[in-house]
Structure 1
């Protein structure tokens, strides 16, 4: 975590705390494991580290009481059956001469992990190795295949990917989801577990489909509709493709009136802004649009494309800025005024009590930040 966080509770009590403490994000290693195609007695593992571990170990991301702590979490590449190994070279013991640390207990790292891992997690590597070998081509994704696409890899070969739609009504999916959502805690900022007793949830999962033969396919988990994409598959456009597919699916459904996102993080907001802007541009939503844009046109775009009012205005403002000649002072002033009016309405409760001079300064500073952010987004569209 980048912000300052309260220290581990034991830090104030143990004189040599640093000797027995470690950053849990740094000592955790995750591996996606597949059977080796070259050696039937071996496996291929793609290792990566979590982005953070505070949902499990606390905001300080510290484990106390171990020397050389290592946490290894391995997952079978398709079914995500999980193996955990926790090793260390020594445990903390209070010094006989000190009374301040006699009541300090070491962290229960296995217990902390157990709260979040699937109940079928194993600590027996032989058992896990057997799972890997058995599921090579026997694992099939749960649910309905709804989309297929290909991406060219670095060697110029087309790799095949598939998206499956599932719900908790599907036999076995609740157990599968419990393994899958553990990863969300380690990669999606501010995430939490969803209630898996609600059968209305629709979950879309992305897999790499490796064709072994005409009749056999080996599947590798890539990510799913929380917009978790595992590190080995990041930077390959999977997030963009998944978002575009989901948007188009929900936009044409009669039972969907508006597509909203609950508490999106910054990374997802960027993904959504770029994709929505690109989609609207491709569908001539911005034709003949000039500043100031009448509210009726904003409402039309919002309703036609089932966006929130704020998201529709964001896309319109991105488009207008991309076409704006800032040397034309009249047009630039009109654009700034439109954006500031939107900012004022959206932040009315926080701004209403400011005096005119303070309000003007606040809106101007906020506008500058918005414009800079829009240029950053437009650079990658």
Structure 2
């Protein structure tokens, strides 16, 4: 169990911030989303990266962004701060400045992008593609309410399940990116070791929108399609004494 003395808490708060409050994670769908705070969310856990206190030390108004390109889930780390606390101040409190970027790369390994320009280039590549074999799915249809200046639209959300094996290098790389996201959201989450018995089940939403003719408008209808990841779960296949195949889930 981790316990702090009152004096330690006072010293820490003078130079530190709660990491869960300053780390923001976002799935970026276009270049317009990169510098907006919409769609971003905070991690649930940061102790595996920044220690049991879940603190970032040595900076004034630090800001940590983990931006995932939605088409590939390849992430970018962006870190900034207004200024740094002096080394003398940190030494007086017996503290060291947190090496934020290296801490993340060490405890949440992934094939990170190097710059915002790299993220823009990543987003310009092909949209997300399904990985594995389709094993099921379901549809949800609904009418989008019409506003004063917009046409009424009919939307259909198609959800699809895909099954794949981590034996495939492409699948294993994609699973590593998924696990880097899970590290921020699942307590005591850990990376899967290379093993052909690990399988990956992914859930995608294939969104189709069809513009319907509004009253007094005979224009042609247009159709758009998009694919986005909704969730995932890893499954381990093993044999029991009676040669029965069983499964156990790792994370989702």
TM-score class, shorter-chain normalisation, is: 0.7 to 0.9
Q: 5+ unaligned residues in a row in structure 1: which ranges?
A: 36-40, 227-245, 247-253, 269-381
**Could you report, residue by residue, the CA deviation over 1:78-108 in whole angstroms, capped at 9, with x for unpaired residues?**
3101111111111121438x9744x642111
1:109 aligns with 2:100: yes
Q: 1:141 aligns with which of 118, 126, 130?
A: 130
- Greater share of strand residues, 1 or 2? 2
CA 1:6–1:193: 2 relative to 1, 3 Å: farther
- Structure 2: how far apart are the matches of 1:50 and 1:99? 29
CA 1:20–1:151: 2 relative to 1, 3 Å: farther
- Structure 2: how far apart are the matches of 1:5 and 1:151? 47
CA contact (8 A) 1:81 1:179 kept: yes
1:172 aligns with 2:165: no
Instruction: Give 1:20 shift.
Output: 1.9
**Could you report, residue by residue, the CA deviation over 1:3-45 in whole angstroms, capped at 9, with x for unpaired residues?**
x84349xx73x9753232111111111111113xxxxx63486
Q: 5+ unaligned residues in a row in structure 2: which ranges?
A: 145-153, 211-221, 236-241
1:67 aligns with 2:57: no
CA contact (8 A) 2:49 2:108 kept: no
CA-based RMSD of the aligned residues comes to 3.6
Q: Superposed, which structure 2 residues align to 1:1-381 within 5 Å?
A: 5-7=2-4, 12=8, 17-35=12-30, 42-43=32-33, 46-95=39-88, 100-101=92-93, 104-136=95-127, 139-151=128-140, 155=144, 157-195=155-193, 197-211=194-208, 217-226=225-234, 256=244
Relative to the length of structure 1, the TM-score reads 0.51
Higher mean displacement: 14-23 or 185-194: 14-23
- Structure 1: how far apart are the matches of 2:192 and 2:11? 40
- Structure 2: how far apart are the matches of 1:54 and 1:154? 44
- Structure 2: how far apart are the matches of 1:154 and 1:216? 15
- Greater share of helix residues, 1 or 2? 1
